[in-house]
Amino acid sequence: MMEAQALQLVESLLSFLGLWELLRGFIEPAWHVVWTVLKIFAIILPIMGGVAYYTLAERKVLGFMQVRPGPNRVGYWGLLQPVADGLKLLCKEIIIPTNSNKFLFLAAPVLALTPALAAWAVIPFDDGMILADVNAGLLYLLAMTSLGVYGIIIAGWASNSKYAFLGALRSAAQIVSYELAMGFALVCVLLAAQSMNMGDIVRGQQSEYGLFGWYWIPLFPMLVVYFIAGVAETNRAPFDMAEGESEIVAGFHVEYSGMGFALFFLAEYANMILIAALSSVMFLGGWLNPFQGWPVLGELTAWVPGLVWMLGKMSIFLFLFLWLRATFPRYRYDQLMRLGWKVFIPLTLVWVVVVATWMQTPWWLW
Amino acid sequence: MNFETVLFYLFAAVTVFAALRVITARNPLHAVLFLVLAFVSSAGIWMLLEAEFLAIALVLVYVGAVMVLFLFVVMMLDINIEQLRKGFWQWLPLGGLLAALIGVQMVWVLGADEISAGTTAVKHAADYSNTKELGRLIYTDYVYPFEIAAVLLLVAMVAAIALTLRKRRDTKRQDVNKQVKVRREDRVRIVSVPSARQVESVQEAAASNHGHTAD
Amino acid sequence: MNYLASLSPIYAEMFLLVMVCAILIVDLFIVNYTKTVTYLLTQTSLFCTVLILLFTHQPGAAHLFNDMFVHDVMSYVLKVFICLAVMAMLLYSRSYLLVRGLFTGEFLALVMFATLGMMVMTSASNFLTLYLGLELLALSLYAMVALQRDSAIATESAMKYFILGAMASGFLLYGMSMLYGATGSLDINRIADVIQHGTPNKSLLVFGLVFIVAGLAFKLGAVPFHMWVPDVYHGAPTAVTMFIGTAPKLAAFAFVMRILVEALQPLMIHWSGMLMILAVLSMAVGNITAIAQTNLKRMFAYSTIAHMGFLLLGVLSGTIEGYGSAMFYAMVYVLMSLGGFGMIMLLSREGFEADTLNDFKGLNQRSPWLAFMMLLLMFSMAGVPPTVGFYAKFSVLNAALDAGHLTLVVMAVLFSLIGAFYYLRIVKLMYFDAPESHEKIYIQPDSSLLVSLNGMAILLLGIFPNTLMSVCFVSVQQSLLQ
């Protein structure tokens, strides 16, 4: 629908310039592709911007929690800091270690970033505001998030450095372990929503009870497991063994500089935002209004667009990421594995059965 | 030739190329990565057949988990590929001859008309969900083999654990329950030290307490 | 409830599966290394499985799960015998495994999983279930062979077994996929129907058949696909060798029957020729090579190959008598094999394997009763008249003769005469040679009871073979008629 309207807009614009008849043969057949590319840009560019300012937010929040101002020199209140950082990284020399595998060394950052961005294709930002409204959306997401580990493991190996290699091994084991718990947590969502389509999952949470109709109530343990597993999947503190700057310097990306490093950085933060988006979509009702159907608040907030709610919910989780980082010391490796295998996986397995049974009873209200 | 056919040949070519490289790559790590590529492009072929569940499951399970562990192991192993290849050229003529013989026989027996595709895949409506259809079949018509396959996986798990788990005496293991149960009183001893003393007596006390400070 | 009642033919398998899972969990809480509770639980569940089989059996065939599962007389008889053979094997091997530290909960669980696999195989009526049952059995066996991790030879044989077994599975699957391509179905009855009445592609069928026969020969250990048998029999712990050499042969018989006879009966003209070559080669290589062996386990391995040749001889006759006698042969073989390996384990003790011929020297002076039992076993394996082995060979030869395979029968007799040499050599060693050690033989009362029962069964069945023989004939007849 929007696709056709946009085409009309382009047509009227070009006719005004007198170019429409000339370019028509090129534009019309390829319009679907062009439109899709435009939509991809409309998703990726804000994510990039989000990543940039999320780094600023991180430093500001950490600063606030540690009673210090954080970056405040570049621009007012440090607002231009991300731009300065980006410029610095762009200008830095890319160093390729001797005896490293050059092709894989350069391919690794790309392999890390691609799945992190590709996963966004099935995230609904508002009702219908989704790039690919596919039925197997949830599965696709799981597949994409499981691919991110290749960037890390290849980076570690190709760098020909022991710190990088150790970091890569740690990270690979960690991601594979937590993926299971994450997958099972999503199975619960799938059970509750009876669909793997991300839009349907959100619509399944719609009710006149507002935020009490969302899945975070029946699936609360899964929300906790999912989010913690998400923190572990993105190698963030307190699960940042893969970087572990006090033991293995910076882990898998210790040999990267300049844009290679920047790409890893982008991937990590894009993944964090992705986890936040997913948690909101699956447990906090995505674009839904939390006060929907409530007597007064519901009517007062009815005008707020879904996108705002979605972004609001995401920022809650994004803040949690930072809060965790500021609060907890790093896990020890065996503790991390124990948490994943002996706590989360049994818990999620049990909860799958609980939800499946619960859904057969009249007490299932969602 | 429509777009899908082009895609099919693209994926097929990549799959064959990657599969060939798996066995010819000198570096075992490259072989594993080519195998990953082969998996991904076969997933693409499945996608063209509207089998999106299988395609994504292939990526999720094989590429996302199994091959990562493969990579993990291959990275840590010190494989001397030259040693593995010793005798490769020596046996190549015999092996190649046998392979060619079998290949010729197969073509001869089956004939060209048997190999050609007789039917094309049926196109489904847009609301057709391969995942749902697969689930329905697995839990109705194929429930018995499905359950046996599940038992098979259980056996694999039991076997893997039985073959690898060995209780060693010399490992240092932490008991998390004990760690959690620890109270401050177990670890910290509060000693009240008198604030003012004569210099000699403090030195004496330090000398006599020297052995205790370690705990 | 009605649905549950309709599942009654598969109650035994369901019970067994539930019990394995229960045993796996119970075993976690048993610290005692003798694992008495787990052991008793295993034996009880196997026994209860037999009881369930006996009580739920109804005449006629029951098809379940969209024709994937069939419960007919043949599968019923074979399942009962499989469970009994596994129970006997566990009884024999308990003390042997205990002193070697292999008697773990996992071992028992794997044995039960393998039993389940065999039961699935015997009552499969679809290539899918046939294959899955086979893999369930094979996977458990691979693991069991490798269980003795400190032994290099066991690990090596497990590796060989695994790789060759995987290759055989590949052959089998390839053949099955060809048949699927030709007939458009994996269902055994449907395939038979299409081949008989439809117009499937003949060359594709035969092409698939070649691969299937090769895969089967691998699994049976028939020459020229026998290379793994001696190594695995020799390398595996004797208890595991006993397991491989007993109950799975019954399942393998069922497997051959389901594929070759039930699904591909119309192609008999093709497969009986292939089986002929396999049978003759197996009998020749098995019997002749066994003479040169000094290790009893290796010798038994070659004798297995020869026995499998005999079994194939019965199958390739292509008549009800042939199939019935092959089934009888398989059962008798299991009985003899149990006794033979049981004897090795009885004479073994901690840190010592009684698996060479020399260990049997002068057994008569050390324990006359055991020597007599071994004598019966050897006579039976060689096919000396009063024992059951004679009747088994006799009925197979008879069936082959009726089907007109005169040359084959003559060759079979010739090779079994050669084979008699190495069986009787053991008898000579036991009775006429001086013992190498005079150590006292200590045997658990349950094992000695079992070995006596085993030997007596061989003798008694040899004198009164008719009951078992008619059970085999009836079951094959009834299963093939519908």
The answer, yes or no, to whether A and C have at least 3 beta-carbon pairs within 8 Å is no
Give dist(CA A167, CA A164) in Å, integer: 5
Q: B187: number of CA atoms within 13 Å, CB side? A: 7
Q: What's the mean per-residue pLDDT of chain B?
A: 80
Q: Check residues A15 and C256 and name the one with the higher pLDDT.
A: C256
**Chain centroid offset of residue A302 CA:** 27
The Cα of A118 is separated from the nearest Cα of chain B by a number of Å equal to 14
What's residue C121's pLDDT? 93
Which other chains touch chain A, taking contact as 3+ CB pairs less than 8 Å apart? B
| CA dihedral over A139, A142, A144, A147, signed as positive or negative | negative
Q: Could you report the per-residue pLDDT of C281-302, keeping only the tens digit for each?
A: 999 999 999 988 888 899 999 9
DSSP C453-465: HHHHHHHHHHHS-
**CB C237 within 8 Å of CB C148:** yes
Give the angle A315-A317-A320 at the CA atoms, nearest 5°.
Answer: 110
Q: Which of A332, A44, A15, A340 is nearest to A185 (CA)?
A: A340
C-beta atoms surrounding A214 within 10 Å = 26
* CA-angle at A180, arms to A177 and A186, nearest 5°: 145
**pLDDT band of B214, cuts 50, 70, 90:** very low
Tell me the shortest Cα–Cα distance from C23 to chain B, in angstroms. Answer: 12
C-alpha distances (whole Å) from A30 to each of A14, A19, A25 are: 16, 17, 9
Over residues C365-377, mean pLDDT: 88
Backbone angle region of A330, left / alpha / beta, with phi > 0 → left and psi within -120 to 50 → alpha: beta
Q: What percent of chain C has pLDDT over 70?
A: 99
CA distance C300 to C374: 13
d(CA C190, CA C66): 12
Residues with Cβ within 8 Å of A23's Cβ and at least 6 positions away in sequence, in order, are A14
* A17-21, A97-101, B111-115: the lowest-pLDDT one: B111-115
What residue type is C259 in one-letter code? Answer: I
Higher pLDDT residue, C320 or B125?
C320
Helix (H) or strand (E) holding C71: strand C69-71
Average pLDDT over residues A202-231: 85
Q: Could you tell me the CA-to-CA distances from C59 to A24, C8, C76, C78, C253 in Å, in that order?
A: 78, 13, 10, 15, 22
- Tell me the per-residue pLDDT of B158-172, one tens digit each, with 9 for 90 and over: 999 888 887 766 777
What single-letter amino acid sits at C168?
A
Q: Could you tell me the CA-to-CA distances from A64 to A75, A320, A323, C234 in Å, in that order? A: 18, 14, 11, 72
Q: Which of B29, B56, B176 sits opposite A136 (nearest CB)?
A: B56
Least confident of B200-204, C12-16, C214-218, C377-381: B200-204
Short-list C113, C143, C127, CA closest to C18: C113
Say whether pLDDT at A210 is over 80. Answer: no
Give residues with Cβ within 8 angstroms of A222, minimum separation 6: A185, A188, A189, A283, A348, A351
> Between residues A114 and A255, which one has the greater pLDDT?
A114
Partners of chain B (3+ Cβ pairs below 8 A): A, C
Q: CB distance C129–B148 less than 8 Å?
A: yes
Instruction: Provide long-range contacts, Cβ within 8 A and 24+ apart, for A258-262.
Output: A258/A89, A258/A90, A258/A91, A258/A92, A258/A93, A258/A94, A258/A95, A259/A89, A259/A90, A259/A92, A259/A94, A259/A109, A260/A94, A260/A105, A260/A106, A260/A108, A260/A109, A261/A89, A261/A109, A262/A86, A262/A89, A262/A90
pLDDT at C326 over 90: yes
Which two tokens mark A2? 């929007």
When pLDDT is averaged across residues A222-231 and rounded to a whole number, the result is 90
For residue A112, list chain B residues with Cβ-Cβ distance below 8 A.
none
Determine contact, residues C73/C254, Cβ cutoff 8 Å.
no
DSSP state of C187: B
The sign of the dihedral angle between the CA atoms of C77, C80, C86, C92 is: negative
CA-nearest of A305, A255, A254, A315 to A280 is A315
Average pLDDT, rounded, for chain C: 89
Find out whether C203 and C177 touch, Cβ atoms under 8 Å: no
DSSP symbols for chain B: --HHHHHHHHHHHHHHHHHHHHHH-SSHHHHHHHHHHHHHHHHHHHHHTT-HHHHHHIIIIIIIIIHHHHHHHHHHS---HHHHTTTHHHHHHHHHHHHHHHHHHHHHHHHHHHHS----PPP--TT--HHHHHHHHHHTTTHHHHHHHHHHHHHHHHHHHHHH----SS-----HHHHHH--HHHH----PPPS---HHHHHHHHHHHGGGTT-
Q: Does the structure show a pLDDT above 60 at C26? A: yes
Residues in chain A: 366
- Chain B residues contacting C via beta carbons under 8 Å: 106, 109-111, 114, 141-145, 148-149, 151-152, 154-156, 158-159, 161-163, 166
Whole-angstrom Cα distance, residue C6 to residue A108? 57
Tell me which DSSP letter residue C64 carries.
Answer: E
B125, pLDDT greater than 80: no
Instruction: Read off the pLDDT of each residue in A268-272 and give the average, rounded to a whole number.
Output: 89
**pLDDT surpasses 60 at B205:** no
CA distance C301 to C426: 15
Q: C82 pLDDT band (50/70/90 cuts)?
A: very high
Query: Is residue C334's pLDDT more than 90?
Result: yes
| Residue A342 scores a pLDDT above 90 | no
Q: Which residues of C touch B (CB under 8 A)?
A: 17, 21, 24, 64-66, 68-69, 104, 106-107, 109-110, 113, 116, 120, 126, 128-129, 132-133, 135-136, 139-140, 142-143, 146-147, 149, 201, 203-204, 206-207
Residue pLDDT, tens place only, C340-368: 998 888 888 777 888 888 888 888 888 88
Mean pLDDT of chain A: 84
The ipTM value here is 0.90
Query: What pLDDT, on a 0 to 100 scale, did the predictor assign at position B215?
Result: 44
pLDDT of amino acid C18: 94
**Cα C442 from Cα C439, distance rounded (Å):** 9
Lowest-pLDDT choice from B49-53, B113-117, B120-124: B113-117
Query: Chain A residues with CB-CB distance to B under 8 A?
Result: 104, 134-136, 139-140, 142-143, 146-147, 149-150, 153-154, 157, 165, 168-169, 172-173, 175-176, 179, 196, 334-335, 338
- pLDDT computed for residue C307 by the predictor: 92
pTM of the model: 0.85
Q: What is the mean pLDDT of residues A94-123?
A: 86
How many CB atoms are located within 10 Å of the residue A220 CB? 12
Which of B72, B178, B180 is the best residue to mutate to test the A interface, defined by the most A CB atoms within 10 Å of its own CB? B72
C-alpha separations of C272 from A159, B109, B154, C268, C462 in Å: 61, 20, 38, 6, 29
Task: Check whether A304 has a pLDDT greater than 90.
Answer: no
State the amino acid at position A44 in one-letter form.
I
Contact residues for A174 (Cβ-Cβ < 8 A; gap 6+): A232, A235, A239, A241, A242, A336, A337, A340
Q: What is the dihedral of CA A196, A198, A200, A204, to 10 degrees?
A: 100
Which of the residue ranges A166-180, C268-282, C409-423 would you say has the lowest mean pLDDT? A166-180
Question: Per-residue pLDDT for B213 more than 70?
Answer: no
Q: Are C339 and C455 in contact (CB under 8 A)?
A: yes
Question: Out of C106, C135, C207, whose CB is closest to B162?
Answer: C106
Does A have 3 or more CB contacts under 8 Å with B?
yes
Token reading at C378? 């050897």
Distance CA B11, CA B4 (A): 10
Total Cβ atoms within 10 A of residue C153: 12
Neighbour count for residue C354 (Cβ, 10 Å): 19
Q: Give the 3-state secondary structure of A267-288.
A: HHHHHHHHHHHHHHHHHCCCCC
Q: Where is mean pLDDT largest: A106-110, B207-211, C169-173?
A: C169-173
Closest CA to A358 of A181, A219, A246: A219
B74 — contact with chain A (CB < 8 Å)? no
For B203, counting Cβ atoms within 10 Å of its Cβ (0-12 exposed, 13-18 middle, 19+ buried), the class is: exposed
B115 touches chain A (CB under 8 A): no
Within 10 A of A24 (CB to CB), how many other CB atoms are there? 13
Give residue B120's pLDDT.
61
